[in-house]
Amino acid sequence: MRKGATEVMFGKLSTTAALFVLLGGGLQAGGGDGAKFAKVSFDDARREAATAQLETSAAMWIWADKYVYTAGEQLTLKWTLKPNNDLYPYTLVAFRQNNQTGRKFYIPGGTETPTDIFGNTSDQGFLIARLPSAEKQVLLGNGGLVGPAVTIPNDQPGMHTLVVQIRDYTGTRVVKAAYFKIGVVTESVDVTGEITADTTWVNTKAYRLTGLVLVKSGATLTIEPGTFVIGLPGTQPARALLITKTGKLMAEGTRNRPIIMTSSLPFGQRKPGDWGGLILLGEAPINVAGGTANIEGLPPSDDTAYGGGNANHNCGTLAYVRVEYAGAILGFANEVNSFTWGGCGKQTVAHHLNAVYGLDDSFEWFGGTMDAKYLAGNYGRDDYIDSQLGYTGRIQHVVALVNSDNANRGIENDNSEFDFQALPKNKPTMYNFTFVGAGAQYTQGADEGTSVGAIWLRRGAAGTYHNMILHTWVSNGIDFRDDATLANLDNGDLSMDGMLMWDNGKASDRPNTVSDQCGGTARPFCTGQRGQAHNFVSRDPMLRRPFEYSDPDFRPMPGSPVYWAGWVQPPDDGFFDQWAHWIGAFGEENWLEEWTNFLQEQDIQ
């Protein structure tokens, strides 16, 4: 191992890496605190790893000082690592990847030659160690475990990923990884007002919303992969990005380079509602008298109108987009959500979207016919999936996680608060959802008290709900309201097949029976006495790590009922993934990896 202390450049190795001292059988960074590494010989590691699991029970997350940097700035990197009784030996590798070019620069040296975090190459022999325990510890920075702060280069603009990997003892197979995205930009651009000509936002700049931004008059706003859009707090109406029905948004990120829309406030000080959010409006049918309406959360105007007769209207494309700390409130029941679609039609594309710490709903549809896939909502203050006013689209692969910051409901669907019998009926088709509530940690709902359940249908809501895990909600797994909703049970417009419910009703300590997991109005339906309910089960879904909030894992463990053969298979209709034969949002693949953000604000303060 090399000794000494020096500045570690992003793409260059100065002279040496961090100082490590052998202490009592463990390795500890000189000047650092927290993590200690117990060294393991290669032969011992090979013997122990012969029976090792292919995955680790450890939890790990990393974060930097902020998201957006300019050349010459210093970057500090921190981590939290919880071994969770994993005693197997591993190799730890860290690097910074330029996502434009794919080039990797290994930490601590900053070279493109692979090393472990101690600076050893494969030829020198990676250091094999058991996982230490560390909480909010500096990896790179003053007194860092791995080295000092790094300097942002002046020749690599765009999105970069900081990565820490837990690899097997040989250093060849990645067992677990933690990711953090940053943007290296040449400047920040303030944006407000109208966009009336085709415009592109590039990932070498950051875009600050200093007011309401409207895309209109036939214009298309294109946002490059890896671009940061920064919402500033304050003002009414909220600082939001509004795509009017005469505009279009093309925001196609990737897993490596998601598009991140977030708060301008420093880490540790951000909160739900820091800025407005993202709104897309179209001309697809809604069930409001006259066929049009004005979107919630903004003052009514021609620009906020949506709805019409074009079921195929294209509001644009959203792919791998994160919206964080959004959701302004104009008045009671009049809010901007993290993601809002009003009257968007079938040509609209939406997949791999993450709503983080939203003040109102994570994803809401006001009418329209569009479809959506791979949606993740976490730490929102209201509902996660909300639809009304005649929404008839299809949704698959959805996960929601509530923490002690409180939320309201997993699904809240209405037909119309103005006319429970309005047509077209609000009738979505939904498959493969996992909703994890806060259970005993829960104190109150964001705007509707403690009526906090996984599925809440009212005001004539209909639809198809299949293959869902409803886990640890404070009141009910399923609840219905209004005679118009109950009538849909009898006429077949409301059906459910495959509901795995566990530990719901925490407020009143209800037992884990199908009957007790449902609200009183829904109980006859859940128990098969009324309507089309099939495969309702109360059993532990055996998810891997659903309550490790900054690093959750919602995949089922071996032997989980998630894989039972009796769950209904999605239709092969060109949209649904029929291969998802399990219940819930996950099989073996964790589709959340790398592009989402589940970091709790208090965990990175």
Q: Which domains does the chain have, with CATH numbers?
A: 8-184 (2.60.40.1930), 188-370 (no CATH)
Question: What whole-number distance in Å separates Cα of residue 192 and Cα of residue 212?
Answer: 6
Beta bridge partners of 159: 183
> Which pLDDT score is estimated for 20?
30
Does 28 have pLDDT greater than 80?
A: no
pTM for this predicted structure: 0.92
> Which pLDDT score is estimated for 588?
95
Q: What average pLDDT score do residues 452-475 get?
A: 95
Q: What average pLDDT score do residues 457-466 get?
A: 98
Q: What average pLDDT score do residues 346-368 get?
A: 97
450 touches 425 (CB < 8 A): no
Does 372 have pLDDT greater than 80?
A: yes
> Which pLDDT score is estimated for 24?
28
How many other C-beta atoms lie within 10 A of the C-beta of residue 237? 17
Instruction: Give how far Cα 42 sits from Cα of 116, 171, 177, 582, Å.
Output: 15, 11, 22, 40
Question: What whole-number distance in Å separates Cα of residue 421 and Cα of residue 179?
Answer: 48
Question: What whole-number distance in Å separates Cα of residue 232 and Cα of residue 504?
Answer: 38
- The two three-digit tokens of residue 329, written as one number: 């409130």
Question: What whole-number distance in Å separates Cα of residue 358 and Cα of residue 324?
Answer: 7
Q: What average pLDDT score do residues 483-498 get?
A: 96
pLDDT digits (tens, 9 = 90+) for 203-247: 999 999 999 999 999 999 999 999 999 999 987 778 999 999 999
Task: Please say whether the dihedral angle defined by the alpha carbons of residues 111, 116, 118 and 119, taken in this order, is positive or negative.
Answer: negative
H/E stretch holding 536: strand 532-538
Question: In which band, very low, low, confident or very high, does the pLDDT at 531 lie, cut at 50, 70 and 90?
Answer: confident
Q: Which residue has the tokens 């490590």?
A: 20
pLDDT digits (tens, 9 = 90+) for 290-342: 999 999 989 899 999 999 999 999 999 999 999 999 998 765 567 789 999 99
H/E stretch holding 386: strand 385-388
Q: Is 178 exposed, middle or buried (0-12, 13-18, 19+ CB in 10 A)?
A: buried
> Which pLDDT score is estimated for 442?
57
365 touches 281 (CB < 8 A): no
Task: Please say whether the dihedral angle defined by the alpha carbons of residues 24, 28, 32 and 34, taken in this order, is positive or negative.
Answer: negative
Question: What whole-number distance in Å separates Cα of residue 389 and Cα of residue 293?
Answer: 10
Question: What whole-number distance in Å separates Cα of residue 375 and Cα of residue 349?
Answer: 13
pLDDT digits (tens, 9 = 90+) for 53-88: 578 999 999 999 999 999 999 999 999 999 999 999
> Which pLDDT score is estimated for 452?
79
pLDDT digits (tens, 9 = 90+) for 255-294: 999 999 999 999 999 999 999 999 999 999 999 999 999 9
